[in-house]
Every structure is written in structure tokens, then in C-alpha cells.
Amino acid sequence: MSVNEKKPLWPVGSLIVLTSLNLLDYLDRQLLAAVLTPIKEELKLSDEQLGTIQSAFMWGYFLTSPLFGYLGDRVPRRWLVAAGVFVWSLGTLMSGHVSALGALIFFRVLVGFGEASFGTISPGWIADLFPSAKRNNAISVFYLAIPVGSALGYILGSAIAAEYGWRAAFLFAGYPGLVFALVLFLLREPARGASEPAPAGGAPAEGKPGWSAYLALFKFRHYRLVIAGYVAQTFAMGGFALWAPTFLHRVHHLKNEDAGDFFGKALVISGLVATLGGGFVATVWQRRTGRGYAGMLALSSLLTAPAAYVAFSTPDVLVSKIALTASMFLIFLSTGPVNTLILETVPAAMRATAMAGSIFAIHMFGDLWSPRIVGHLSDKWGDLQRATVAVLPAAIVVSAVFWCWLVLVTPPKARTAAAT
């Protein structure tokens, strides 16, 4: 066991630090959505080009995640995570100094590269801090950063852009990360698999050697179904996250800062309650039936699809706001369980690999394309509302198909800590 893999001093303290950094991660991701309108006006870009900027981030994120997954199961994780935080923060800072589309694309790729290290490795680190009975709750806390950080990105980004210009929003988000990267060196890593009393269900304690570990992921049926549904959900969420504030601005004629403020506040309230509530309810459900995690995924997607359709199709601004809030609440019910299943449907020694495989798949086949597709259809049809209605609810339906299938193949009282 390496020095960095000693027993952690305080698991809850490590969870707090990693969750705080994850919050900063998601704040940075949604800054772009909050300042799309002023960027479009200053750099004179089309909607498809705006979608391409977000896709550039995804290229940097998902293409490098397999590398960090490989390293995250084999070398000390603290250095990898700290370097990732530093690189994404530097890319964010530089995004505020560009004057051309090409430069902005380059630095968003750099941001994705840095966030790939953190996003791939941190969940496995947390899984090694907490036993199976407490793991889903800890993972749900970690992923509270998605709604809270994203909401702060929308709210602060639009407010700062309105007062000081869109460049200042990127500067605001970049500097703290350079400092916070140092905090990681106060933590100690747990040993890989430290929270597992023994290889559950006879699963091997070791991962597959080398890059063949990624091919080995395909043999886990439950993992495949989780990822298939997650790809479709992420496709919808990618388009939703980038275009929803602009949708409110163009279709319902809210001011850009008001649209960002509403979307951010609705996101933080609905996401906070749903992520915690969905995670804790799924834990109880799982203990009683063995299908709680899978059931929460299916329930989330089945309810989100009609809410999303209403949100983007109604001509009434109040109904649209209510349906948008409901969609966010319902989709975030799955946040903790989906990530817990990614980690628990493979052996403990393959957790970083499993997370990297997930990141690669959901972005390669999911939100890499949806922001640009929605932007392309908006340009082609001259109608952002029609573009969102045509793409996003349908993707949630596809997600529901795979996750309902997952419920059917998960036996009652299944031991999800075992690779299946």
C-alpha cells in the first residue's frame, strides 16, 4: 500500500472537500449557457457555432477520460485530481481573454481535459471511503454539486455578465480553482476496495490488466443497461442545460439575466431536493427490494418525458416555467442511484475504469451532439422552440426503455455490490 493509500483521517471531511470541488466543476460548466447571448452578439456567432463551443468542452472531457480511468485504478489519485482542478481552472481563466471562436473552442477543450481527471477519479475515491450500505447516500451528496453548482453558474454567470461583461464571469470562476487544487494535498486516499469486507458474490478483487479493462466492462449486463439509459438521458440533459435559458429568452421574451436567474434558482431548489430525496429514498427502496436503484432510474425517466414535452411545447410562460422546474426535479431523482450503480456493477478494483467508460459513452453518444443538433435545427427552421420539442423529450423516452429493462433483469434482493 502506498503512502497515499493509508486509511483516511476523516471520510466525511474528504467527502466535503471533493463535493466542494465538484460544485466548482459544475459551476464552470454552466457559465457558457448563462452568457450565450452576449457571446453570440460580440463574436457574431450562429446558434450552431454556439453549440459547437459546448461540444468542444465535451471532446476534451470524454476523449481523455479513458486515460484517467486507466491511471485512476493504478497510480495515486490525489496528484491526478489536483492536476485536473488546476488545468480546468486555467482553461476557464483563459476563456475570459479570447476574441475569436477558435481560441474559445481551444480553451473549452482544455477545461474538459482538466475536468475529466476529477470527474473520472473522485467517485471511486468516495466509494472506497464508505461501505455499500452508506455509499449511495455519500454519492448522492457528492452529486448535489450538479444542481447547486450548475445553478450558481447560471445565476452568477448571467448576473456578472449583465454588470461587468461575459468575460468577467469566466475570470470569477477560474481563480478559486487554482487555490482549491492545493487543498487536495491535505487529504489521504483510502486503499482501493477499502470499504469492501470481501469480494462480494465471488467477484474478482482485481481489475483486468491494461487497456483491456475497458473491453471487460462489456461483460457486465447491468452495467451495460445503466450506461445505455444514461447515454440517452445525457443527450437530453446536454441540450436542455445549454438551451433552456436561451429558450426562455427567445420564446417567452424574458431578459437574458432574468432567464438565467429563474433557471438557476429553479435548478438549485429542485435539484437539491431531488438529488438528496431520490438518493435517500432509493437507498431505503434498495434495502427492502434489491431493485431500488434501478427502480428510481426508471421512475425518473418515465415521469420526466411528459414534463419536458410540456415545458418546451406550451405557449404559456408560466406553464413552461412550472414544467421546466418539474422536469429538473424529476430528472435529478436518478443522480445518486445511476452513479452508485456504475460503481457497484463492476469489481471494486475497476471503479475508475467503469466511471471512465461511463463518461466516454455518455458524452461520445450523448451531450456531445445534442447542443449542436438543437442549434442546427434552430438555424434551419428559424424556431428554437420547435427544435427543442423535436429532440429532447424523445431522448428521455429512450432512456426510460433501457432503465425499465434494467428493473426487469434485476432480481429481487439482488446484492448490487457484486458485479453482475
How confident is the prediction for the chain on average, in pLDDT? 86
Q: What pLDDT, on the 0 to 100 scale, is given for residue 234?
A: 94
pLDDT digits (tens, 9 = 90+) for 300-350: 999 999 999 999 999 999 999 999 999 999 999 999 999 999 999 998 888
CA atoms of 68 and 118, how far apart (whole Å) = 9
CA atoms of 21 and 275, how far apart (whole Å) = 17
Short-list 234, 107, 247, 120, CA closest to 173: 107
Annotated domain spans of the chain:
7-192+204-409
Q: What pLDDT, on the 0 to 100 scale, is given for residue 2?
A: 41
Q: What pLDDT, on the 0 to 100 scale, is given for residue 75?
A: 83
Percent with pLDDT over 90 in the chain: 35
Predicted TM-score (pTM) of the model is 0.78
The identity of residue 128, as a single letter, is D
Q: What pLDDT, on the 0 to 100 scale, is given for residue 198?
A: 53
Hey, which of 125-129, 240-244, 338-342 has the most confident mean pLDDT?
338-342
Q: What pLDDT, on the 0 to 100 scale, is given for residue 57?
A: 83
Short-list 31, 87, 95, CA closest to 61: 87
pLDDT over 60 (residue 1)? no
CATH 1.20.1250.20 matches 7-192+204-409: yes
pLDDT band per the 50, 70, 90 thresholds, residue 63? confident
pLDDT digits (tens, 9 = 90+) for 148-206: 888 888 888 888 888 888 899 898 888 888 888 888 877 888 877 777 665 444 444 44
SS3 per residue for 222-265: HHHHHHHHHHHHHHHHHHHHHHHHHHHHHHCCCCHHHHHHHHHH
